[in-house]
Each structure stands twice: as structure tokens, then as C-alpha cells.
């Protein structure tokens, strides 16, 4: 309640913003393009007096640094020219994973709003102002953006814009919410579903998660010659295991059983491998504590975590 009152108070002031990007072996030009576009968007929002200060923090999970020192220096200069107060690059020296990396970066964050952003994105110049606009409703804890060219199929309420969960590729979260709910659950999720889990935990704490269709990012995706979505190399295996963990965490044994059954009958090797790893974690007690016993936020529609407008698997 105290946090909510604080947020109502904050909307009367211009919020400050921190952008966090986790890198993993991306080419320099991809990262530079991402930072250039989000810098412009931050600059536009600031010039329209929608945000106060802003900073961009990059955390690198690669084995060796993605960015050369000279590149970092150039990016700092460009960011300063664009009106960004601070740009910082940290090479972690090990792969902390998506959630772990962001948790590390958010330590000591003093900005009001946090923008979690993938490095393979190009932000609309209006991205920040549209997302901040959605955050002006003090009941909103997390906002996600529309991805282009391939939209995510999850649905949203056409009136309230409420949605089951927010995409981690581009989500804005109040820093107080992020820290208040303990950040990403990086112990349970290494890659994939950590954004679903974060959204659902925020909702368990009473925050709304909304979609802002006017906030847009371009997210590098590919289609096969038949128009089928080509997932990232790491996605199928990691998302299968994470899905099992998510269903387990949100107390949906029925879904866990269905997934295990489907995965074991799947011709894909990675599905059986995901089940094996999940079972090993279960035996070793390495699974998260179970929450949402009354299923108030966890939404499992088939093997999806929201109603979908369509399926890429049709």
C-alpha cells in the first residue's frame, strides 16, 4: 500500500528512466543500432518533458566482451549528445543468463522506471513516451510493447489493455516493483519464461500488467520459405524446460503432467532432454517454491501462458 501511494505521488513528477540491455555475443553494429534508436526515443521523451534524466546500462554475458573499448567510448559520446545522462558497460565475465544479468544491473538503481530491452531490437522514436504514458496509471506495474515485424500472438483486453504477461524483449517496469518482488527468478529460469514469471508475481502483488500497442520495437526475427517462424537456436530446449518449471511453480501439476506427456512423445530430442532435466531438478529439490495455489494469476492455455490471437504453429 505504501508503494502504491508512493507511485501515485511520483506520477506528479517527471520520472527518471534506466534502460538495461543484456548482451550475449551480439555484433557491435547490432548493439550500436539498438542503443542509437533507444537513445533517440529517450531524447524525444525528455524533450517533450515526459521523463527527467535517463541512463543506459549494458551488461555483457559473453565469454569475451562484445564491445571494444573504443566502441563503448563512442557510444558514450553519442549518448551524451542525445541527452542521455549516463551510459555504462559491464562485462560480467560469465553468463548470468537473462534474468541474472538484469538482476545484477538493477542493483543500486535509483531511477523510477526500468526499461528491459533486448539488444537485437530497434526502438520506435515514440517507444519511451508511449510506454511512460501507460505508466501514468499508478495501478500499472509493467508495460510491454508491440513487436514488429512478427507480432507476439498473446491477446490483451481491448479496453483496459491488461494482458497475462509482458514480453521481456521490451518491458517497462517500475523500479520499485522490480525490487519489491525480488527481480527476475534467475535461480529457476535461465532463459525464457522469466518474463512470464516476473509478470505473474507482479500481478500477485496487485500490479497490473498492460500491453501498449502504440509502443513499438522492431525485433529481428526470421521466417522460413513457408512462412514458419524460426526460433532462436537456444529457444526450443530452454523454453521447454522453463515451461515445465513455470507450470510447476504456479502449482499446475495438471499442466506439468500434460507437458511431460507431450514432450516424451515428441520426436524432438530436446523435448525429452528438457523433461529429463526437469525431473533431475525435481529429484534434487532444485525447483522453486510453489505459489499461486489458487491459480489467480497463472494462465495456461494449452501450453501457452495467455489466450493467443493466432498460433505460429498452425
- Whether the Cβ atoms of residue 196 and residue 165 lie closer than 8 Å to each other: yes
Q: Is 216 in the site for other proteins (CB under 8 A)?
A: yes
Q: How far is CA 188 from CA 41, 58, 194, 231, in A?
A: 33, 23, 8, 22
- Whether the Cβ atoms of residue 286 and residue 245 lie closer than 8 Å to each other: no
Alpha helices by DSSP H, listed for the chain, are: 2-10, 28-47, 69-81, 97-106, 127-135, 175-180, 194-204, 235-249, 253-264, 269-283
Q: Is 229 in the site for other proteins (CB under 8 A)?
A: yes
Q: Is 272 in the site for other proteins (CB under 8 A)?
A: no
From 109-117, 211-219, 243-251, 275-283, span contacting other proteins (CB under 8 A): 211-219
Pick the closer one to other proteins by CB: 220 or 292: 220
From 169-177, 220-228, 252-260, 297-305, span contacting other proteins (CB under 8 A): 220-228
From 53-61, 152-160, 270-278, 288-296, span contacting other proteins (CB under 8 A): 152-160
Q: Which three cell numbers stand for residue 7?
A: 507511485
CB of 146: closest distance to other proteins in angstroms?
8
From 12-20, 99-107, 145-153, 289-297, span contacting other proteins (CB under 8 A): 145-153
Site string for other proteins, 27-46 (x = CB under 8 A): --x---x--xx--x---x--
CB of 84: closest distance to other proteins in angstroms?
13
According to DSSP, residue 162 is labeled B
Question: 248 to 267, contacts with other proteins by CB under 8 A?
Answer: none
- Whether the Cβ atoms of residue 200 and residue 208 lie closer than 8 Å to each other: no
Pick the closer one to other proteins by CB: 225 or 285: 225
Q: Is 312 in the site for other proteins (CB under 8 A)?
A: yes
Gap between the Cα atoms of 311 and 314, Å rounded: 6
The SS3 of residue 256 is helix
Q: Is 122 in the site for other proteins (CB under 8 A)?
A: yes
Count of residues near other proteins by CB under 8 A = 39
Q: What is the dihedral of CA 237, 123, 158, 154, to 10 degrees?
A: -10
Q: Is 108 in the site for other proteins (CB under 8 A)?
A: no
User: Which residues does residue 58 pair with via DSSP β-bridges, in sequence order?
Assistant: 21, 89
Question: 78 to 107, contacts with other proteins by CB under 8 A?
Answer: none
| Residue selected from 4, 10, 76, 221 as contacting other proteins according to rule CB under 8 A | 221
CB of 107: closest distance to other proteins in angstroms?
31
CB of 18: closest distance to other proteins in angstroms?
21
Pairing of strands 17-23, 113-117: parallel
| Residue selected from 225, 233, 265, 284 as contacting other proteins according to rule CB under 8 A | 225
Gap between the Cα atoms of 155 and 115, Å rounded: 22
Q: Is 294 in the site for other proteins (CB under 8 A)?
A: no
Q: Which of 33, 35, 37, 184 is nearest to 100 (CA)?
A: 184
Q: How many CA atoms lie within 13 A of 238 on its CB side?
A: 14
Gap between the Cα atoms of 72 and 121, Å rounded: 18
Q: Is 149 in the site for other proteins (CB under 8 A)?
A: yes
Task: Name the site residues for other proteins (rule: CB under 8 A).
Answer: 29, 33, 36-37, 40, 44, 122, 124-126, 146, 148-151, 153, 158-159, 161, 213-214, 216, 218, 220-229, 309-314
Amino acid at each position: 500500500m505504501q508503494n502504491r501511494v508512493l507511485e501515485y505521488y511520483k506520477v506528479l513528477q517527471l520520472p527518471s528512466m534506466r534502460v538495461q540491455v543484456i548482451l550475449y555475443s551480439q555484433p557491435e553494429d547490432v548493439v550500436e543500432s539498438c542503443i542509437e534508436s533507444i537513445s533517440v526515443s529517450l531524447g524525444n521523451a525528455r524533450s517533450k518533458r515526459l521523463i527527467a534524466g535517463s541512463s543506459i546500462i549494458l551488461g555483457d554475458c559473453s565469454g569475451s566482451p562484445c564491445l571494444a573499448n573504443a566502441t563503448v567510448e563512442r557510444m558514450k559520446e553519442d549518448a551524451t549528445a542525445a541527452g542521455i545522462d549516463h551510459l555504462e558497460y559491464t562485462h560480467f565475465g560469465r553468463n548470468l543468463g537473462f534474468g541474472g544479468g538484469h538482476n545484477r544491473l538493477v542493483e543500486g538503481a535509483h531511477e523510477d522506471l526500468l526499461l528491459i530491452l533486448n539488444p537485437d531490437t530497434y526502438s520506435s522514436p515514440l517507444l519511451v513516451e508511449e510506454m511512460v504514458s501507460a505508466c501514468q496509471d499508478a495501478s500499472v506495474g509493467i508495460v510491454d510493447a508491440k513487436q514488429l515485424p512478427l507480432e507476439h500472438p498473446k491477446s490483451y483486453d481491448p479496453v483496459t489493455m491488461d494482458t497475462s504477461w509482458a514480453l521481456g524483449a521490451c518491458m517497462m517496469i517500475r523500479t520499485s516493483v522490480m525490487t519489491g518482488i525480488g527481480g527476475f527468478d534467475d535461480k529457476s529460469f535461465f532463459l525464457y519464461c522469466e518474463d512470464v514469471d516476473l509478470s505473474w508475481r507482479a500481478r500477485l502483488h496487485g500490479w497490473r500488467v498492460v500491453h501498449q500497442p502504440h509502443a513499438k520495437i522492431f525485433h529481428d526475427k526470421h521466417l522460413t520459405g513457408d512462412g514458419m517462424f524460426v526460433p532462436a537456436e537456444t529457444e526450443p530446449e530452454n523454453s521447454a524446460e522453463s515451461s515445465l518449471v513455470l507450470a510447476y511453480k504456479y502449482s499446475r501439476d495438471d499442466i506439468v503432467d500434460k507437458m511431460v506427456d507431450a514432450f516424451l512423445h515428441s520426436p524432438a530430442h530436446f523435448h525429452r532432454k528438457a523433461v529429463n532435466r526437469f525431473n533431475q531438478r525435481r529429484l534434487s529439490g532444485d525447483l522453486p517454491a510453489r505459489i499461486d495455489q489458487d491459480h489467480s494469476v497463472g494462465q495456461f492455455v494449452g501450453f501457452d501462458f495467455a489466450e493467443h490471437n493466432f498460433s505460429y504453429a498452425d
